[in-house]
Amino acid sequence: MSQPVDAARLKPGTYPHHYVYRTMYSDMDGFRHLNNGVAARLFEEGRASMNMDIFGTDVLVNPRAGLQLLVARVAIDSLRQAKYPGDVEIATGVSRIGRSSWTVVQAAFQDNHCFAIGETVTVKAAAGRATALDPAERERFEAYMLRSSDGA
């Protein structure tokens, strides 16, 4: 994500799905900030939460034979420091729905400030091969599309 950040991506209201996490002591680095790995882990939890809403819990914890949600690409930009203690809000939405893949965009907020943004491409696969999203899945994804910059 080497391009300038769209200002809407820095607003929680742009995203339809939210996950709140209470930071832990073990999240802190030697400089008393949240370490760089924390954003990756929290973005993963936000994606997992949204994917369970769309596909059901079993797709992640007890998938039917051969079904997989494969991460094809992950990019994370750190924008500022975050701290311990404190809560972090992970905001998640979908920016693109393809035949068998979708792009998830996310932002991490603490004290109403965005400290990281992320983008992930995920592919629905069966037996290791991309497989088309079915109409019901596509419809559920529509509910998670990014909102307009005013949050409407």
Residue 31: is it exposed, middle or buried by C-beta count within 10 angstroms (0-12/13-18/19+)? exposed
For the stretch 23-52, pLDDT in tens is 999 999 888 899 888 999 999 999 999 999
For 35, phi then psi, to 5°, come to: -75, 165
Among 127, 150, 119, 125, residue whose Cα is nearest residue 11: 150
Query: Alpha-carbon dihedral of residues 54, 94, 17, 136, nearest 10 degrees?
Result: -20
For 114, phi then psi, to 5°, come to: -80, 125
Grouping H, G, I as helix, E, B as strand and the rest as coil, residue 121 is strand
For the stretch 73-93, pLDDT in tens is 999 999 999 999 999 999 999
Q: Name the maximum alpha-carbon separation found in the chain.
A: 48
Cβ pair 77, 116 in contact under 8 A:
yes
How many angstroms from the chain centroid is the CA of residue 31? 26
User: pTM of the entire structure?
Assistant: 0.89
Confidence of residue 130 (pLDDT cuts 50, 70, 90): very high
Is pLDDT above 60 for 149?
no
